[in-house]
Amino acid sequence: MVVGEFTTEVDVLVIGAGPGGYVAAIRAAQLGKSVTVVEKGNVGGVCLNVGCIPSKAMIHAAHTYEHAQHTSAMGITMENVKVDMAKVQEWKAGVVKQLTGGVSQLFKGNKIQVIEGEALFVSENEVRVFHGYDVNRYRFNHCIIASGSRPIELPAFPFGPRVLSSTEALALTELPKSLVVIGGGYIGIELGTVFAKFGTKVTVLEGSEQILPGFEPEMTRLVDRKLKKLGVDINTKALAQGMEETANGVIVKAEVNGEQKSFEAEYVLVTVGRRPNTDELGLREVGINLTERGLVVVDKQGRTNLPNVYAIGDIVAGPALAHKASYEGKVAAEAIAGHPSEVDYKAIPAVVFSDPEIASVGLNEKEAKEKGIDYVSGRFPFAANGRALSVNAGEGFVKVIAEKATGLVLGAQIVGPEASNIVAELGLAIEMGATLEDIALTIHAHPTLGEATMEAAEVALGNPIHIVVK
C-alpha cells in the first residue's frame, strides 16, 4: 500500500463527470443517495470541453461568417468581413466556461463531492484514485462507470503536430490553408464544414459509398451538394493508406475507387470514430464482462455482471451520443434507488449539425421494409414552408413514417433548417404512441418551421394542404 493511502466509504461512486456521469450523479442525489464523483479531467467531460459544445459554437461562428458574406440578395451589404480565429477561440472558451461552471454549481447544489484523479478498480466494490503522487481508496455500495471515449488513432496517422484529432482541430488559433479530413462521418463533416466556411481548402476521404453513412442517401445528398458549393473535395470509397510529412504540411496517400491518389495539405484531421475508455480501469481484472471492442456488457438498467456496478454512455453498446449517455445515467441512478426503470432506445434522435442539418429518430423506410411493416410515409418540402423561405433556407424536407393500418408514428427523417430542434416533436410522438392524426390535428403556430411536421403528417394521411401530391 502506498504511504498515506487510506480508505473512504461512499454510497454511490460515479466515475466520470461528462453528460452521462454528471446527470447520473445528480439524479442519484435527487433520489436521496450520497454521491461522490471521480473525474480525471475537467467537469463536463469531452462533450462540454472538447466535443459537442465547442464544436457547435464553432459551427455557429462559421455560419455567421458565411451569412455575413451572402446578404446582398436581402439588400444588406457588408464590407471587410474577416475571421479572427484567436477571437473565435476566446468566445468559444467563454461558452465552455459558463457551461462547465454550471455543472460545478449543480454538484454543489446537490451536495455531490467531486474527487480529481484517475480511478482503478481493485475489487468488486473498491477503487484506487490516483492524483499525482496521492493515492486513496474508495469503497462503494454502488458504482456507475461513465468514463466516456477518446478519438481512434490510426497506426498510419499517429496524432502529432500535423495530424489532429477533433480535440486539437477545435483548438486551432490560426486557420489552416488546407485540410484533409479522414472520415466522412458526423464529426468529420461538421468540422470540415466549419473550416470550409472559414476559407480552408478541405478534402474529405470517406471509405463508404457516401458521406454520413447510416443516413438515407436522399438526406446526405443535400449536405454533399452544399459541401461542394463550399469548395470541398469529397472522395468516397477512399481508403487512406499513409502519409509523409513535408516542410509545410503532409502528403496523404489514398486509394480512391481503386486508384492511387495523393492529397497535400497543411494538416490531417482524423475522424474515424471513438474508442471506449475502459482499458485502464482494471475492469477485466475484477471480473466485469467486456466485448472484444472493450465495451461493457450491461442489462436494460445499465447493470454489469457485478450487481452493484453499472456502466453508461460511450462505454456500452449503441451510438456514442451525449443525450443517450444522460438518459442511461438517469436509468442507472433510478435502478440503484430501487426503481423499475429500464432503457428503451426506440426514440433516440441522431443529429448531424451539418449544412443543412440532418436529424433522424425511430425507423427509416429501409428499416421498416426490413421489418416487414406495412407502412405509409409523408414528405413535406421546406421549399413550401413560409418560415423556411423567409430565413433563406428552403432546401430539405420533413418525412414521417407510420404504420399504415393504425397511423402509429414509427419514425421521421429531417434535412433542413433547425432539423435538430424539429426532431424533438417527432421523438415525443414515437415515445407517447401518437398517430399521424394526432400530429395533423395539433395546431402549429404560423409561420414556423415546425409546421412542416404537421404538413408531412397530412401528406401521409392523403390530405395535404400546401402541396399537390399526384
Q: Is 186 annotated as a binding residue?
A: yes
Q: Which domain, by its residues, includes 383?
A: 356-461
Residue 336 pLDDT: 98
Q: Is 187 annotated as a binding residue?
A: yes
Mean pLDDT of the chain: 97
Please tell me which residue in 67, 70, 446, 466 is annotated as part of the active site.
446
Question: Could you give the percent of the chain with pLDDT greater than 70?
Answer: 99
Tell me the mean pLDDT in the region 380-404. Answer: 97
Regarding whether 364 and 450 lie in a shared domain, the answer is yes
Domains held by the chain: number? 3
Give yes or no for residue 304 having a pLDDT over 80: yes
Residue 470 pLDDT: 79
For 36-53, how does the pLDDT look when each residue is reduced to its tens digit (9 = 90+)?
Answer: 999 999 999 999 999 999
Note if 339 is an active site residue: no
Would you call 211 helix, strand, or coil by DSSP?
coil
Question: Could you give the percent of the chain with pLDDT greater than 90?
Answer: 96
Regarding whether 268 and 288 lie in a shared domain, the answer is no
Regarding whether 384 and 424 lie in a shared domain, the answer is yes
Give yes or no for residue 2 having a pLDDT over 90: no
Q: Which residue, among 224, 192, 196, has the nearest Cα to 210 in the 3D structure?
A: 224
CB 253 within 8 A of CB 195: no
User: What backbone torsions phi and psi does residue 191 show, to the nearest 5 degrees?
Assistant: -70, -35
- Of the three residues 296, 324, 345, the one that is the final residue of a domain is 345
- Of the three residues 216, 237, 272, the one that is the final residue of a domain is 272
Would you call 274 helix, strand, or coil by DSSP?
strand
Residue 4 pLDDT: 56
Give yes or no for residue 1 having a pLDDT over 50: no
Regarding whether 79 and 21 lie in a shared domain, the answer is yes
- Rounded to the nearest 5 percent, the helix, strand and coil shares of the chain are 35, 30, 40
Regarding whether 408 and 315 lie in a shared domain, the answer is no
Regarding whether 141 and 29 lie in a shared domain, the answer is yes
Give yes or no for residue 138 having a pLDDT over 60: yes
Q: Is 433 annotated as a binding residue?
A: no
Q: Is 56 annotated as a binding residue?
A: yes
Q: Is 294 annotated as a binding residue?
A: no
Please report, as a single letter, which amino acid is at residue 266.
Answer: E
pLDDT classification of 175: cutoffs 50, 70, 90 = very high
Tell me the mean pLDDT in the region 161-177. Answer: 97
Regarding whether 302 and 265 lie in a shared domain, the answer is no
Q: Is 255 annotated as a binding residue?
A: no
Tell me the mean pLDDT in the region 183-203. Answer: 98
Give yes or no for residue 54 having a pLDDT over 80: yes
User: What backbone torsions phi and psi does residue 55 show, to the nearest 5 degrees?
Assistant: -65, -40
For 79-106, how does the pLDDT look when each residue is reduced to its tens digit (9 = 90+)?
Answer: 899 999 999 999 999 999 999 999 999 9
- Would you tell me how many other CB atoms lie within 10 Å of the CB of residue 253? 16
Tell me the mean pLDDT in the region 237-266. Answer: 96
Q: Is 206 annotated as a binding residue?
A: yes
What are the angstrom distances between the C-alpha of 41 and each of 131, 340, 390?
A: 11, 33, 44
Q: Is 117 annotated as a binding residue?
A: no
pLDDT classification of 253: cutoffs 50, 70, 90 = very high
Give yes or no for residue 5 having a pLDDT over 80: no
Regarding whether 128 and 49 lie in a shared domain, the answer is yes
